[in-house]
Amino acid sequence: MPQNIVLSHLRRSPLLLATCVATLAVAQTPNPFQSLKDAVSKAVKQLPNQPQTQSAGQSISSTAAPSAPQASAAAPNAAGPWTPPANEQAPAFAGPVEPGKLPEIVGVHVGTPKEEVAALIHKTFPEAAVQPIGRIEMGFGVWISLSTKMPASEKIYFENVLPPAKGVVYYINRYSTFAQPMSQKNYLDAVHKKYGPETAVRVGNGFRTLWWLSDEQGRPVKPAEAQGEFQGPYGCDVSVNTGGSGFSSVVSQYVSNQLPAATFCDSLVIVYVQIGETELISGATSILLDRAMLRREAVNDGKAQQSAQQQKNKDIQQKAGQAKPNL
């Protein structure tokens, strides 16, 4: 398969992307894509043959999904599910964001200051060997070896917003491999206990994908069908240009007037979980993304950059008007 096609597929697949981001950061291999393919194939072959419980491409929802988002009169602090506005525009920021009321992965909530992440990881995995995967201003990852005898590990990647905003986490990507196969039912029971009823479930291509959507005040979005394998309910996704450039790429889009108009997806916090659609599973991917924070802080950063550039241009013009030729 041509490398450009592989890269395109990786950008669309959070499960493969999570594996590649962490793996490429800790080890250089002649062909990382082939290594990933071999590793996945090996893990699948080690499991007993499992029947597929749902047909490919099937979306599951406990309630009938609306054909289009309908307006809702829910109060800002209503506890029940709310439905995105009919015009699909992002509602105004209600603020403030309280990280402790929002979802978390390994104890790290969106909105957590980046300086506190390491201590939270050690709290979750007190006896594990934690090895940083690179370190750049905008994003960083960790490799956590849970056992030297069993093939269990955690690869966790974080990204944070940049000044002028406070450097807090807006994106977490976790890929777990288990020491031994785990019952899918046990995993699903645990994830439902942690995050509650999902907004959507989709089964296809050998995977079960679950989505939880809420606003930044923690109100869950009304259940609806996922719109594709990598596109969640209401067209929302967790696509981020990872590798430390997710935030800056949105800023650049804004500065160059190429940032698409905000939709209600840009006001949400999204949790994404993907596991194998088999009775026993050997790993899982979890993603937590505050799309509202990403958009809001990137736009603020872009405005600050534009203001600074305008002032710079003004200073240049002023100095040019005062300059005298030396003839």
One digit per residue, the tens of pLDDT, for the chain of length 327 reads 443 333 343 444 444 444 443 343 333 333 333 333 344 344 434 444 444 444 445 555 443 333 333 323 233 333 455 565 555 555 666 667 788 888 999 899 999 988 888 888 888 888 776 666 655 555 666 677 666 555 577 888 888 887 777 888 999 999 998 888 999 999 999 999 999 999 999 999 999 999 999 988 888 999 999 987 778 998 899 887 655 567 888 888 899 999 988 888 999 999 999 999 999 999 999 999 999 999 998 898 888 888 888 888 888 888 888 888 888
Q: Where are the domains of the chain?
A: 14-48+98-314
DSSP 264: G
**Sequence-separated (6 or more) residues with CB below 8 Å from residue 41:** none
Neighbours of 81 (CB within 10 A): 17
Contact at 8 Å (CB) between 199 and 224? yes
In the sheet that holds 268-276, the strands lie side by side as 58-60, 200-204, 207-215, 268-276, 280-290, 169-183, 153-160, 139-145, 129-133
Contact at 8 Å (CB) between 241 and 174? no
Contact at 8 Å (CB) between 233 and 226? yes
Give the closest residue to 241 by CA, choosing from 61, 14, 46: 14
